[in-house]
Amino acid sequence: MKTEPFIAELDRAHAGRRRALGAAAAVLAAWTAIVAVYWDTVVGMAHIWTRSETFAHGWIVLPLALWVAWRSREDVTWGAARPWWAGFALVALAGLAWLAGTLAAALAVQQLAVVLMLQGAAIGILDPTVARQLAFPIALLLFAAPIGEFLVPTLIDRTADFTVAALRATGIPVYREGAFFIIPSGAWSVVEGCSGIRYIV
């Protein structure tokens, strides 16, 4: 009789593992379908990760999110799977955003929309409690979207403003034209690498 509580606890643990594996398989299947449907957009993101040092971290975002989720598996309450309509609503809205981005030829919007679809699919498939407990790795997926390049021209201007102001404050004469400026020691310019976009990302 003393072994019954132990057996019951073991059964609950096995049931939890089965539910976890089932949920993981369903999420991966949904992600595979999304990637297949929006393959061109995903390939476009991969090209940006490859060519841009600013967004090279995109290659490790998904493995990192999966690793964090796997590491947290013992702390997750794997209840009976209850699809969550809010997640599927996010998928639908992201699909509309992708369509709008396609019509407007806004690649960044399309790429962000695909990432939001992946997040929405995970939220929709998982139990609401599980989705909340895995909120961090799900949110981490946002960093896969290579967005922020539109900020570069503004950041270059602000960096040039600050540099010129600092030079003038120290009494160094400076002539500025856009992102280019000339001081007695030579000509200088603020380039993308100096804009601060990497720090923001």
Q: How does pLDDT run across 26-59, given as a tens digit for each residue?
A: 899 999 999 999 999 999 999 999 998 888 889 9
Give the max Cα distance, the chain: 91
Residues 32 and 121 sit within 8 Å (Cβ to Cβ): no
Which of 192, 197, 162 is CA-nearest to residue 176? 162
195 versus 127: which is more confidently predicted? Answer: 127
- With a CB cutoff of 8 Å and minimum separation 6, the contacts of 102 are 110
User: Does the pTM of the predicted model rise above 0.85?
Assistant: no
CA-CA-CA-CA dihedral for 92, 41, 35, 75, to nearest 10: -70
pLDDT of residue 10: 47
Q: Is residue 124 very low, low, confident or very high in pLDDT (cuts 50, 70, 90)?
A: very high
